[in-house]
Structures are given as C-alpha cells and as structure tokens.
Amino acid sequence: MTSSAHRLSRALATLASLALATHAIAATENIGTASAIATVVTGTLNADALTLKTGDAVFENETITTDDAGVGQFQFNDQTKLAIGPGSTLVLDNFVYDSNTSKGKVVISLTQGALRFITGNADHNAYEIVTPTATIGVRGTVFDVYTKDDGEMAVAMIDGAIEVCPKVGLCRVHDVVGKFLYMTPLGDFSLRDTWDGSFLKGVPFKVALPFLGDQKNLVPALRGKASTVGKYLTVAAGDLGKAIKTPLTKFPKLKFPKLFGK
C-alpha cells in the first residue's frame, strides 16, 4: 500500500464513530498534494502522524511540521501553493473551493516558522493566514512570512498586497516590495528598509526568510522573480555577511516531479 493510500485509509477509519461522522467526513477531505519534500516533514491527522513524501495527499485539519532542516512544498485544489521552512508548524484549518464559481475559504494557521504563500484561483478575500497574534488577509499576492511562537513576525512582499490585522490594534496594509513589515507581539507595526538586527533579534535573515535567501530548491511554481528577490538580498546584505561566517544548514537537493518541470 502506498503512503498516500495508507493516509486515506487511516483517515476514513474515523467514520466508524457515528456520533462524529459529520466532523470526520470534513476532516478526511483531500485538499492537495506534497509537490516536494526535503528531510523530515510530518503530517498529523486525527492524532495519527506520518512522515510525508513527495506525491502524498494532504487533508483538511492536518498539522504539518518540519524538523530543523525540513522543507515542505505543497499545491492545493484551487492551485494555491505554499512552502514551509525548517522548524515550522502550520495547520490546514479550512479549505473549501468550488471551481465553478471560484468561491471558497482557505484558512491556514502558522503557529511558528517560515512560510511562502501564493494565492490560487479562489477569490482573493477567501484566503487567511492566522498567526498567534494576527490574521493576514490576502489580496492576490505572493509573500513570505516568519512568525515566532509569541506572535512577533516579519513579512516580505514579493507581489501584490496583504493586510495584517493584529488581535489588538489597527490593521496595516503592506504592498511595498523590497521592505519588511515588522509587527511586535503587541501588534505595533513598522516598515523596515534593511534586515539589520534591530527586530526579530537573534533570528538570522536566512532562518526567518529562507526562500528569499535561497530559491534554487523551490519548485519553479514557487519561485519569486529574480529581480524582486534581489532587492531583499541587497537590503539584507549585512546579515547575510554574518551568515557566511557561521554557515546555516542548506536545503537538501530535491528532485522535482515532472508536473512542475518547464
């Protein structure tokens, strides 16, 4: 039995409890596929954990975690794409999509770590990224976000715009490519021109935003424009220089499925 078939079999087993049948059906909906997996990426569904492999299905309500070198890349039914970086945890909370009307609701909770997100074919207001202290509304965009478990976070815009709404305080729109939107755990915002160590102290650029630091191991569909990425590498040059003296773990080389080859 393949790992995908094993996952589906385990998920369907929850239907044995008639009292929870409605909830179980929702929890077993196949919403997408792992397009590339490096080192250890784990999917946990209904308290059942499985080490994911490239090509495995993922499900609504599944929790995805990566180890210190793990990178998971995924494509969903509405063509949404995301990559989760090392040492990260996210939950695929809600995924409803109607291809005939482009209506839907996509809610992903990023508990901690790094994420690249690219919207799919649903209406732009269908997407929400939830962090410990804020909700990111997506307006048709590509962006990278890093959050600590206390809610301190930074966002780098690659294309489009987002609106970050803290649980306490006013929302802030970010649509400036080449600058970092920083938010404290208390919901205070600032727009930063450089990654200079004055915010997210102790978190190197290549840890917070690994997909800007190195895109070559992303599937082509998840890569940002070279000119845009170059802007961020320029403003983070000081921090990258420090990283050279203390090398970080590099992503393992991946073999991409033909689906994504060009």
Radius of gyration of the CA atoms of the chain, in A: 18
pLDDT for position 238: 67
pLDDT at residue number 104:
84
**179 vs 163: CA distance, rounded Å:** 15
Average pLDDT of adjacent 10-residue blocks, the chain of 262 residues: 58 42 52 96 96 97 97 95 97 86 87 96 90 92 95 96 94 95 96 92 93 92 93 82 44 43 39
Rounded CA separation 3/17 (Å): 24
**What is the model's pTM?**
0.81
Measured CA angle at 222 (ends 26, 233), to 5 deg: 135
Closest CA to 58 of 23, 90, 13: 90
Q: What is the pLDDT of residue 247?
A: 40
Beta bridge partners of 105: 96
Q: Are 154 and 199 in contact (CB under 8 A)?
A: yes
- Separation CA 147–CA 200 (nearest Å): 9
- Predicted confidence at residue 17, as pLDDT, reads 36
Q: How much is the pLDDT for 1?
A: 58
pLDDT at 14: 41
- Tell me, which fold does domain 3-249 have in CATH? Jelly Rolls (2.60.120)
Q: Token match 């890349």: residue?
A: 73
What's the first-to-final CA gap in the chain, in angstroms? 31
